[in-house]
Structure 1
Amino acid sequence: MARSKEFDERAALDAAMQVFWEKGYEATSLSDLTARMGIQRTSLYATFGDKQSLFLACLAKYSEATMAYYQAKLQKETTIREAIRSCFADIIAAAYDAKPNRGCFSINTMVELAPHDPEFARITRHNQTQLQVLFQQAIERGMETGELAEKLDAAAVSRSLVVYMAGLLVTLKSKPEREFVEDSLSTLLQLLK
């Protein structure tokens, strides 16, 4: 008779994601993972596979939650301009409120692993593309309602927003003056006129 698992897979995956998020992929050891997850190595391998497979599962979970968050955020506000401003304002607020500021798990992965691992480069590019599509759909809605100018190139503006977001998340790791970052956001929002 097969033994039932004695741990909650979702909770273990969340715990693993926290370790990877805090330390990065390379600096995280299997001992770090099993200690935080509260499981033995054999259970880790049997349930999640090797370290890279576990990391990929964590990244997929994070990406799914992040995309759902931004999709809801871009539909929640009364105006598209405010929805987009709010997405970035939340990132800025979180960076200055968080102790420590761990940044974005996906962007951290892009910086640490994508330059030398084609699989992580592909995944992080896919995440950026998904976000770009969400921004583009929001901008197109704003153009259809007349809130945003019809002359806008929704694809180009949405790509600019994604590039700005990635740069913002990396920049915030060094805790620049908040006014510096908020001024850059004001300038960025000029694209939406």
Structure 2
Amino acid sequence: MVRPREFDEHTALTAAMMVFWEKGYEATSLTDLTRAMGIQRPSLYATFGGKESLFQAALTLYAERSLIFIRQKLQNAPSARSAILLYLQGIADSGDGRKPELGCMCVNTIVELAPHHQPFTQFTREYQQQLTALIQSVVENGIHTGEFSQNLDASSIAGAIVIAAVGLAVTMKSCPDHSVVEQAIHQIIKMLD
């Protein structure tokens, strides 16, 4: 007879996500994971299949939560311009209540693993495409309402904003001068003029 799990899988996965987000894939040990998750190694392997598959599950959870959070932030903004400004300032200020130096777990994965691990290259590329689609819809709405010029190419602008956001997320890991970051954000926003 199979013994029932004595832990909540979602809670354990969330704990693992936080450890991977803070330390990165390579620097996270199985001991770090089992301690944070409150489980033993056999349970980790039985439930998640090992460190790499656990990381994939944690990254997927992070991406899902991140996209929901960003979508809500964009939809609740009073205008298209303010939506994009709030998105970028959220990266700089970590509007979700976390430390900006943690960066974005997906961006961290781009830097750490995507160059030499094809599944993570593909995953992070798809995440960026989803972000771009969210931003593109905001730009298209701004064009439709007359807030932005009809001459803007929504797809190109959205791609440029996401690339800038990825760079901003990486930059925030070094705790840069906030005034320099604010100036950069305002320059990015000028692309919408």
Do the structures match in fold with TM over 0.5?
yes
TM-score category of the 2 structures, normalised to the smaller one? over 0.9
Query: Could you tell me which residue of structure 1 aligns to residue 39 of structure 2?
Result: 39
Percent identical:
48
Matched, 1:49 2:49: yes
Query: Could you tell me which residue of structure 2 aligns to residue 167 of structure 1?
Result: 167
5+ residue gaps, structure 2: none
Q: Within 2, Cα distance between the matches of 1:3 and 1:185?
A: 53
State the 4+ residue runs in structure 1 displaced beyond 4 angstroms.
Answer: 97-100
Amino acid at match of 2:18: Q
Query: Could you tell me which residue of structure 1 aligns to residue 139 of structure 2?
Result: 139
Helix, strand or coil for the counterpart of 1:101? helix
Q: Within 2, Cα distance between the matches of 1:188 and 1:70?
A: 18
What are the Cα deviations for residues 107-162 of structure 1, in whole angstroms up to 9, with x where unaligned?
11110000111111111011000000000011111111111111100000000011
Q: Structure 1 residue 42: deviation in Å?
A: 1.1
Change (3 A) 1:99 1:159: closer
Q: Structure 1 residue 99: deviation in Å?
A: 5.3
Q: Structure 1 residue 2: deviation in Å?
A: 2.6
Q: Within 2, Cα distance between the matches of 1:164 and 1:46?
A: 40
Q: Structure 1 residue 29: deviation in Å?
A: 1.3
Q: Structure 1 residue 22: deviation in Å?
A: 1.6
Query: Could you tell me which residue of structure 2 aligns to residue 116 of structure 1?
Result: 116
Change (3 A) 1:98 1:11: closer
Q: Is the 8 A contact 2:73 2:87 kept in 1?
A: yes
Q: Within 2, Cα distance between the matches of 1:191 and 1:16?
A: 38
Q: Structure 1 residue 37: deviation in Å?
A: 0.7
Query: Could you tell me which residue of structure 2 aligns to residue 30 of structure 1?
Result: 30
Helix, strand or coil for the counterpart of 1:150? coil
Q: Is the 8 A contact 2:110 2:121 kept in 1?
A: yes
Q: Structure 1 residue 46: deviation in Å?
A: 1.0
Using the size of structure 1 for normalisation, the TM-score is 0.95
Query: Could you tell me which residue of structure 2 aligns to residue 61 of structure 1?
Result: 61
Q: Is the 8 A contact 2:17 2:55 kept in 1?
A: yes
Query: Could you tell me which residue of structure 1 aligns to residue 176 of structure 2?
Result: 176
Using the size of structure 2 for normalisation, the TM-score is 0.95
Aligned residues: 192
Q: Within 1, Cα distance between the matches of 2:171 and 2:154?
A: 25
Q: Within 1, Cα distance between the matches of 2:127 and 2:100?
A: 24
Q: Within 1, Cα distance between the matches of 2:101 and 2:170?
A: 11
1:71-86 equivalence runs, <5 A = 71-86=71-86
Q: Within 2, Cα distance between the matches of 1:43 and 1:100?
A: 32
Amino acid at match of 1:90: G
1:93-112 equivalence runs, <5 A = 93-94=93-94, 101-112=101-112
Q: Within 1, Cα distance between the matches of 2:32 and 2:8?
A: 18
Q: Within 1, Cα distance between the matches of 2:100 and 2:189?
A: 28
What are the Cα deviations for residues 24-58 of structure 1, in whole angstroms up to 9, with x where unaligned?
11111111111111111111111111111000000
Q: Structure 1 residue 98: deviation in Å?
A: 5.2
